[in-house]
Structure 1
Amino acid sequence: MFHVDAFTDTLYKGNPAAVVLLEDEWLPEWQMQKIAFENNLSETAFVKSLDDERHFGIRWFTPTVEVPLCGHATLASAFVLFSIHKDLNQIIFDTMQVGQLIVVRGDDGCFVMDFPNRMPKETIDTIPEALLKGLNFAPQKVLRNEQAYFVIYDDEQKVRESDPDLKQLIKLIPYCVIVTAPSNYADYDFVSRFFAPDHGIAEDPVTGSAHAGLAPYWAEVLGKSKLSAYQVSARGGKLFCEVKTERVFIAGNAVLFSGGFVYA
């Protein structure tokens, strides 16, 4: 098992993920869930080799549930596999719910992930009471996709100062909550934060999967297909996104914190 900080090139920043390499078969689901609970990180990824050296299966577990898609743990898994298989430039992950995910080793040290476009298309006219009660700033607009409610603000400071009532947000199951705004600084196009109390995660430090929806939204608003993003959690993380019609390419760095063995 490896502990990797994803979407950063600096230790103790970004989003930490555990990557468990399996020798042959998937462990029983209860055991994978127990390991993820023991790790107590936003996600633990389980990876097993498939039919060739660049083809792997991947599954992701928070401390409490298995999730259909996770960006930072995919990035962390690719980082580990590229470190082991130094001749590879591309890795293909098979998933249970979102098809194949391809990760390419970039020339600049970044790893580029090919994700489905999850543009939030549904504008919420009647905003759920739990969401309004859970936010300390009134939203400018609220949208939704299959993963989360997207709370749109007009100023980055509202995202940074968000202090949601998680007891209210947990009532929004099965949806998480993303707060986002255009960046006040030239280095980034937009900022965000991600809350998933129903998944056992009060606030996720950096959420790659959320940017499969955030990047298409801001690409349309800002009129550009290539964007830089910063998730303004306490740890913080940098993401680079390119939006296509059906896919979103999300890139970032990663750094190894530790490695060892699971004796469960």
Structure 2
Amino acid sequence: MKLRINIVDAFTEERFKGNSAAVIISEKWLPEALMQSIAIENNLSETAYLVKADDDSYAIRWFSPITEIDFCGHATLASASVIFSDNPEITEIIFSAKAVGKMIITKKDDGYIQMNFPNRKPHVPENIPVELLNGLSIKPSEVLLNEQAYFAVYEHESDVRNVTQSKEDLQQLAPYDVVVTAPGKEYDFVSRYFWPANGGDEDPVTGSIHTGLAPYWAEQLGKKQLLAYQASKRGGVLSCRVTEDRVYISGKAVHYLEGFINI
């Protein structure tokens, strides 16, 4: 069996930047073990799998090289970019995922793809795990938590760029990952994302965590429209708009590869 595969660099206008995702669209779900094996072979942050429904919407699932992921923004952007490229006459797609629900994806005139996600604003946790504090080389000024990750908040962008992780400690926080963040100089806020328990050392650009970052910084900065930068080695830019119950995250994507895999 041959499966079409696309690899797309998401949240960037420059090839070899942003975060790469593989996209596979099939008529029905592949076996879970096979989806995981393909994700391991691809060795990208995520491989997205999509199945088209009768109403022309798409069910979507995401797999890292380690496990299935509940929610992935950059692979959603990559998937939408592939579908829009294949169908230039359409400007809106509906995706659905078990943990996130319905997501309306819109192609904008300026080349951005806008994704409509739930607002997942973080809260103050009851306890701050010692593994979190031991796992970061710089002590944060504040710690928060949402469904996905612990938020280590810093006062300065330089702290976010310079902090290092102890993978052995942060792995103990599973199923939660860790995002470090601070106000930015050129951007409204910056971040980095560590996920040794679920995907690897550091994710290049993480769209999903901005459903928590954007509401937090919108409140801190007193603005609903924000421009964010994820300060990984590859780097990525995310435009965010916050409402009471939704976060609209927009980005661009660059297509890198189209081909077939043999199963």
- With structure 2 as the length reference, what TM-score do the two structures score? 0.97
Distance in 2 (alpha carbons) for counterparts of 1:108 and 1:27: 35
| Amino acid of the structure 2 residue aligned with 1:235 | R
Report Cα offsets for 1:150-183 as digits up to 9, x if no partner: 0000000000001111111000011000000000
How many angstroms apart in 2 are the aligned matches of 1:171 and 1:184? 33
Identity level (%)? 53
Q: Distance in 2 between matches of 1:73 and 1:164?
A: 25
Structure 1: distance between partners of 2:38 and 2:127: 40
Instruction: Tell me which amino acid in the other structure corresponds to 2:128.
Output: I
Partner amino acid for 2:180?
V
Once residues 126 and 91 of structure 1 are traced to their aligned partners in structure 2, the CA distance between those partners, rounded to angstroms, is 40
The answer as to 2:46 corresponding to 1:43 is yes
Question: Could you give the per-residue CA deviations for residues 183-202 of structure 1, whole angstroms, max 9, x where no partner exists?
Answer: 023xx100000011011321
Alignment of 1:9-24 (within 5 A): 9-22=13-26, 24=27
Amino acid at match of 2:190: V
Task: Tell whether 2:174 aligns with 1:173.
Answer: yes
Q: What is the CA distance between 1:92 and its match in structure 2?
A: 0.2
* 1:21 Cα deviation after fit: 1.3
Distance 2:189 2:159 in 1: 13
Is the contact between residue 175 and residue 198 of structure 2 (CA under 8 Å) also seen in structure 1? no
- The letter of the residue matching 1:4 is V
Q: How does 1:52-67 map to 2 (within 5 A)?
A: 52-53=55-56, 55-67=57-69
Kindly state the Cα deviation for residue 126 of structure 1 after the two structures are TM-superposed.
3.6
State the shift of 1:124 in Å: 3.4
Do the aligned partners of 2:205 and 2:235 also contact (CA within 8 Å) in 1?
yes
Matches within 5 A, 1:1-264: 1-22=5-26, 24-53=27-56, 55-121=57-123, 123-124=124-125, 126-185=127-186, 188-264=187-263
State the one-letter code of the partner of 1:174: P
CA distance in 1 between counterparts of 2:254 and 2:16 reads: 9
Unaligned 5+ residue runs, structure 2?
none
Q: Tell me, which stretches of 5 or more residues in structure 1 are unaligned?
A: none
**Could you state the TM-score of these two structures normalised by the residue count of structure 1?**
0.96
What is the CA deviation profile of residues 29-63 of structure 1, one whole-angstrom value per residue up to 9, with x for unaligned ones?
Answer: 0100000010010000001111144x111110000
State the shift of 1:125 in Å: 5.8
Where has structure 1 moved over 2 Å in runs of 4 or more?
Answer: none
Render the CA deviation track for 1:92-138: whole Å, top value 9, x for unaligned: 001122111110001100000000000002x1364211111111111
CA-based RMSD: 0.9
1:158 match: secondary structure = helix
* Number of residue pairs aligned between Structure 1 and Structure 2: 259
Letter in 2 for 1:156: E
**Aligned partners of 2:151 and 2:210: how far apart in 1?**
11
